[in-house]
A and B are shown apart, each in its own frame.
Chain A
Amino acid sequence: MDLDLAKVLLILSFIALGVAFLTVPSVQQFGRHLFTSSEQIVVPAGSSSRGVASDGGDRSLDLVTFLGFDAIPAILDPEFVTVVEANEQMDDGEQVLGVSINGESRAYSNPMLSRHEIVNDVVGAVPIAVTW
């Protein structure tokens, strides 16, 4: 085979592989499994119905690691602004998670939550984790 033709075919096949990774769901899934670890864990039934199997017993879940500890940095010391200042930072239609506890209210911007996933906060003297 002509050497140049072989190079072109090689490059084309890399491009095809790249496109497949970007667009074909089953190939995407395969790609992810190359970079992840998975283990089966058992969640104890405990006292409430949360996470309990339909027969009322322990429930088995797959625990899959895509990203390690702190790969997505949680917010540990959140800073806040008033409504007037926040109006400068946020569109009217911006999605937020709103929380009111013991007369104190907070709004957490969803675009910001998407980058941090968790905010550790204390609202109305109650320590909370806001998770997205």
Chain B
Amino acid sequence: MNALVMYDHQTRTLWSQFLGKGVKGTLAGVELDFLPVTQTQWSLWSEAHPDTLALNKGGRYRFDTYDSYYREGSAEVLGETRSDDRMDRKALVVGGILGGSTKAYPLDLLSDMPMVNDSLGGGEVLVYLESDTDTALVYDREVDGRVLIFSMAEDGQGAFAVLVDAETGSGWLALTGKATDGPLEGRVLNRALSHLSFWFAWKDWNPDTEVY
């Protein structure tokens, strides 16, 4: 299995990035809280969040040193722990985690069908892909104890793509999960834990994963 191990300055405990958990040292077994993150393109992020700040690159970092790694087929550095050929190892998936269950949604599939109303771990989720930028998000689609079913609205593209729920007809910005009109205006969908991953890493760390 391949994933970053990091340490904290205070106790020098080693932490697994993928598990969000101390694995060696005085804080072994302690879990960090995961927070939702959006992997996307700068233009889309800055349009959706015009007041955002950006990490200062100071004129450096013009290229990503892993560009060739993203493109090539190899898992590198330690290879794979187990084989699972439901997908190519470097296929991109958005992995969702809810109620102790995990499910991988292939980006290839979502690009034909940008939005999926699905169930996961006893909860109800909405998986959304902005396919021009490979921006994939998983929301909890239960609001005030009511499960909403979403479809894409006709208008709005990119950072301003809109989802409409069948129950109230409210319009929701797909990228931020915020309702901008209708009876539920002002409400924000909770993100379920998810992140973009290569298939080989997702299935190594989550051996019991389902695949959509």
A contacts, CB < 8 Å to B: 25, 29, 32, 41, 43-44, 46-51, 54, 61-64, 66, 69, 74-75, 78-83, 85-87, 89-101, 104-112, 114-115, 117-119, 126, 128-132
Within the complex, what minimum Cβ distance (angstroms) separates B106 from chain A? Answer: 19
State how many residues of chain B have any CB contact under 8 Å with chain A. Answer: 56
Chain A residues, Cβ within 8 Å of B16? 43, 51, 61
Among candidates A43, A48, A64, A109, residue contacting B54 with C-beta atoms closer than 8 Å:
A109
A63-B5 contact given A41-B24, A89-B59, CB 8 Å threshold: yes
Contact B53 A47 (CB under 8 A): no
Contact A98 B49 (CB under 8 A): yes
A43-B19 contact given A63-B5, A101-B35, CB 8 Å threshold: yes
A79 to B38, CA, bound (A): 20
Interface code B71-115, partner A: CB below 8 Å = 1, 0 otherwise?
000100111000000000000000000001000000000000000
A50-B21 contact given A66-B77, A90-B54, A96-B45, CB 8 Å threshold: yes
A119 to B56, CA, bound (A): 12
